[in-house]
Amino acid sequence: MAGAGKTEFAQHCKSLGIPVVQMGDLVRERVREYGLEMTGRNIARVANVERLKHGSDVWARHTSARVDGTSTVIDGTRSEAEVAYFRRHFGRDAMVVAVYASAPIRFSRLKSRNREDVPMTPGEFEERDRRELGWGLGNVIALSDRAIGNEGSIRELRQKINELLEESKFLNPQD
């Protein structure tokens, strides 16, 4: 869910030399192509329209085209269709990691961001959660291969990420 820490997960992996592709960046690129204002509603509208026009895995297909064959973190999967696509496309190498945190913590984190699409009221936050849950995000979280709770500090999250990477041999696949 938004504000849970998935982008921090991705940024930490990037700091370790792991390539990262952010699905939301692709959606925002499309919003700019359409010449729309960068708002949460426009981002959601474009994401939905593209899904309706081109299939529910459209963003996964666009994202996979940006993966160059090395171990890569993909940030922002929102639906079962996207997970299914990644698992078909990348096979056994695909691992879905859910990063979770409570709603009050996520809302506080989102409010502190300096992005145009951030929900600023509890109502906007709940609307965003409902929209993303409507895409099937809850099922993605439930079906994830691994889960990391993120209720504490960034330092604690980074330690959990390091442990997951070591355990999964993501950093040293030859071992």
Domains in the chain (CATH in brackets) are 6-165 (3.40.50.300)
Q: What is the pLDDT of residue 174?
A: 54
Q: How far is CA 127 from CA 47, 67, 73, in A?
A: 15, 32, 27
Verdict on whether the full-model pTM lies above 0.85: no
Whether residue 173 is predicted with pLDDT greater than 70 in this model: the reply is: no
Nearest CA among 80, 60, 68, 73 for reference residue 142: 80
Mean confidence (pLDDT) of the chain: 91
Whether residue 144 is predicted with pLDDT greater than 90 in this model: the reply is: yes
pLDDT digits (tens, 9 = 90+) for 79-123: 999 999 999 999 888 999 999 999 999 999 988 887 767 778 899
